[in-house]
Amino acid sequence: MDVGEWLRSLGLGEYEPAFRDNRVDGEILPNLMKELGVASVGHRRKLLSAIAKLSERSAEAPAVPEAHRAGPLAHDAAERRQLTVMFCDLVGSTAMSARLDPEDMRGIIAAHHKCCASLIERNGGFVAKYMGDGVLAYFGYPQAHEHDAERAVGAGLAIVEAAPKLETSAGAPLHVRIGIATGIVVVGDLLGSGEAQERGVVGDTPNLAARLQGIAESDSVVIADGTRKLLGDLFELSDLGPQNLKGVAGPTRAYAALRESSQESRFDALHAGGLTALVGREEEIELLLRRWAKARAGEGAVVLLSGEAGVGKSRLTAAFLERLSGQPHTRLRYFCSPQQTDSALHPIIGHIERAAGLARDDTLQTKLDKLDALLQKTSTSGEDSALFAEMLSLPNVGRHPLLELAPRQRRQRTMDALINQVEVLSSSVPVLMVFEDAHWADPTSLELFGRLVSNIARHRVLLIVTFRPEFEPPWIEQAHVTALALNRLAPCEVDIMIDHIVGNNPLLATVRQDIIERTDGIPLFVEEMTKAVLEAVSEDEAWRTAALVPSPTMAVPASLHASLMARLDRLGPAKELAQIGAAIGREFSHELLVAGVIESVVFF
């Protein structure tokens, strides 16, 4: 159960951060009949009534076996979708089995499985099967996420790092090798019976992932080219060249994932090949420039930039930053992550690490030296320096005062120190702050930026906050705050954008028109669909790519599959209705849709 969604359905979304901070989920919610931390009596009674109804509903609902809870409804068991498959194998398990007692070996495998499952699930994956000492996992089923390929590689690297640290009776560190591949499959059919029952997957992708795992070195993650194309520059990769894999036709290019890259921005990492020309955003740029002029004059301002995924929030921000490149100012950029929504101050910590130039291989002494050099620019006190070092998980080795503070005081002092940094910087030059993807922000970061918003009006600071419509910023009513919603592009603007992407390459007028109609004015869709058409090797494939014949795998570029599937999965029971409508076509009558629903129910 999504507690945040439940609160919003009651009109009480303001309490979502408190529930999230206290780890209140659907399992313990029915037991919370007291001490909800809700001041309003009316709101408290409304919550208690809703919780009571949840309890009644839970008591009436039949028990669902744990193995099947994550799967889709029985009548919708098999689905065609893009899936990232991970195979993880324990290195040297055969030799260990020969020298260890079976009970000891069982304990080692159990610890390995537990470690893998924890990290896979933490990254949004689904453990499909345990095969001896191996683990098969899916990313993109039963719940798709926008960045499933990224999540899979992140989980793989985390497993490689964690496995040698496990305490077992093996007498030596454990080592793993991992293979990851992405492609279109049919997944979800229930196979077998009893405890052997599992969700089957049909397609080339699982076999490719298994073969890549077979060529992986110990403590390495090997990924397929299809997965690599979805990662941009988010990870540092080593090209392993074409590989001849058993059961796979022709040489297959493979890459070893080494570590996360040091790219400052997710947007920049995913657009390493360059940015498409900005089209149709002249008014928005002008508004940002006017707010910047006010900020430079000492009237701090906040712009809340909202829009659906792919509509161009980050692209507009990048264009605005380009316009300011010749002006003296300090630029502070903070990036939220879908994998770090529960990590306190994650975007702030990331910014400080980048600003100080901290590297993974730096010694503790070097990191402390770099941090001190950064903080000296703002004449930061020793006590505040100690708080910053602690925030970056750097131990106090005597160079800073030892602060004896209660947790609440430490939190307050840390926020005060962070706000003071911005104020000091703005006293010398104007400051541009960009807080990207606030819908993924952790509660502590939101609290900090809430305080910054209140203080900005009297400083030379412009703060731009980008987010999706589902996020409701609590700062909108303040006089120095401007809300700016990005709309989709008009058909004529999409046409201009296609011209920029196509360049001198020929494009059939009918294909162009189909791109305009199918992308619905969302710039990201326009870009990816047009590039997919240009990459087609023949005119016939170009027509298929633009979906002029019924071929959904070619109609939707791989880079958009996860995002669109994630939207569908969030629809819940309405997902089937959307799928039926999509099968009918872009336009249909209510009567035809009802007939399709009835036919679907009868068929299943």
Q: Which residues of 484-514 are buried (b: 16+ CB within 10 A; e: fewer)?
A: bebebbeeebbbebbeebbeeeebeeebbeb
Q: Check whether 598 has a pLDDT greater than 60.
A: yes
CATH of the domain at 223: 3.30.70.1230
- Same domain? 473 vs 526: no
**Element holding 543 (H helix, E strand):** helix 539-545
pLDDT at residue 292 in the model: 97
Q: Which residue has the tokens 């919003």?
A: 8
Q: What is the pLDDT of residues 3-37, one digit of tens each?
A: 666 666 666 666 666 666 666 665 555 555 444 45
Q: How confident is the model at residue 46 (pLDDT cuts 50, 70, 90)?
A: low
Q: What is the mean pLDDT of residues 87-100?
A: 92
Number of H-type helices and E-type strands within the chain: 25, 13
Res 333 pLDDT > 60: yes
pLDDT score at 412: 93
What pLDDT score does 33 carry? Answer: 41
Q: pLDDT per residue over 47-72, tens digit each?
A: 666 666 554 544 443 333 333 344 44
Domain match, 251 and 396 both: no
Beta partners for 191? 198
Does residue 493 form part of some domain? no
- Mean confidence (pLDDT) of the chain: 84
How many residues does this entry show for the chain? Answer: 604
Distance CA 300, CA 169 (A): 61
The predicted structure's pLDDT at residue 63: 37
pLDDT of residue 599: 62
Q: Give CA separation, 73 vs 84, 118, 188, in Å.
A: 21, 25, 10
Q: What is the pLDDT of residues 105-118, one digit of tens each?
A: 999 999 999 999 99
**What is the predicted pLDDT for the residue at 34?**
44
User: Given this model, what pLDDT does residue 459 score?
Assistant: 96
The tokens describing 170, both together, are 């093996």
Are 189 and 333 in a shared domain? no
According to the per-residue pLDDT averaged within each range, which of 180-184, 515-519, 537-541 is highest?
180-184
Residues 562, 522 share a domain: yes
How far is residue 350's CA from residue 287's CA, in Å, rounded to a whole number? Answer: 29
Q: What's the pLDDT band for 79 if we cut at 50, 70, 90?
A: confident
DSSP state of 503: T
Residue with tokens 């009893």: 194
Q: Which of 154-163, 184-193, 214-223, 516-525 has the lowest mean pLDDT?
A: 184-193
Q: Give the pLDDT score at 572.
A: 75
Domain assignment of residue 591, given as a range: 503-603
- Among 485, 515, 535, residue at a domain's last position: 485
Half-sphere exposure of 549 (CA within 13 A, CB side): 9
Does 197 or 117 have the greater pLDDT score? 117
- Of 426, 456, 485, the position where a domain reaches its end is 485
Residues 83 and 54 in one domain: no
| pLDDT tens per residue across span 451-473 | 999 999 999 999 999 999 999 99
The average pLDDT across 502-531 equals 89
Residue-level pLDDT at 550: 41
Which amino acid is residue 55, in one-letter code?
S
The count of domains in the chain is: 4
Say whether both 164 and 239 belong to one domain.
yes
| DSSP 8-state code for residue 102 | H
Residue 223 in domain: yes
User: To the nearest whole percent, how much of the chain has pLDDT over 90?
Assistant: 55
Provide the pLDDT for residue 144: 87
249 and 292 co-located in one domain: no
Per-residue confidence band for 551, with pLDDT thresholds at 50, 70 and 90: very low
302, 350: one domain:
yes
Query: Which tops the pLDDT comparison, 573 or 396?
Result: 396
Task: Specify whether the CB–CB gap between 4 and 19 falls below 8 A.
Answer: yes
Q: What is the pLDDT of residue 286?
A: 97
Same domain, 396 and 426: yes
Give pLDDT, residue 538. 47
Does residue 337 lie within any of the structural domains? yes
Contact present, 273 and 243 (Cβ < 8 Å): no
> Any residues with CB less than 8 A from the CB of 305 and at least 6 apart, and which?
313, 316, 317, 464, 465, 466, 467, 484, 486
The whole-number average pLDDT for the span 126-144 is 91
For position 376, what pLDDT does the model report? Answer: 93
Coil, strand or helix at 248: coil
Is residue 588 helix, strand or coil? coil
Give yes or no: residues 313 and 388 share one domain.
yes
pLDDT of 72: 40
Question: Domain holding 49: CATH number?
Answer: 1.10.150
CA 139 to mean position of chain CA atoms:
12
The whole-angstrom separation of Cα 457 and Cα 461 is: 8
Q: Are residues 304 and 322 in the same domain?
A: yes
Report which DSSP code applies to 435.
E
Q: What is the pLDDT of residues 214-235, one digit of tens each?
A: 999 999 999 999 999 999 899 9
In a domain, 449, yes or no: yes
Looking at residue 74, its pLDDT comes to: 41
Q: Residue 601: pLDDT above 60?
A: no
pLDDT in tens, 259-317: 998 777 788 888 877 788 999 999 999 999 999 999 999 999 999 999 999 999 999 99
Residues 6+ apart with CB under 8 A from 562: 82, 140, 144, 145, 146, 147, 148, 149, 230
Establish if 276 belongs to a structural domain.
no
Do 20 and 53 fall within a single domain?
Answer: yes
Residue 444 has pLDDT above 90, yes or no: yes
Tell me: cis bond preceding 338? Omega within 30 of 0 counts: no
Domain boundary among 455, 485, 515: 485
**Domain annotation covers residue 498:** no
Under the banding of pLDDT at 50, 70 and 90, the label for residue 548 is very low
Region 366-375: mean pLDDT is: 94
Cβ–Cβ contacts within 10 Å for residue 211, how many?
23
Residue 580: what pLDDT?
A: 79
Instruction: Report if residue 495 sits inside a domain.
Output: no
Q: For residues 445 and 419, give the distance between their C-alpha atoms in angstroms, rounded to a whole number.
A: 12
CA distance 62 to 537: 53
373 membership: H or E segment, kind and range: helix 364-376
Q: Decide if 277 is inside a domain.
A: no
pLDDT of residue 164: 95
CATH code of 374's domain: 3.40.50.300
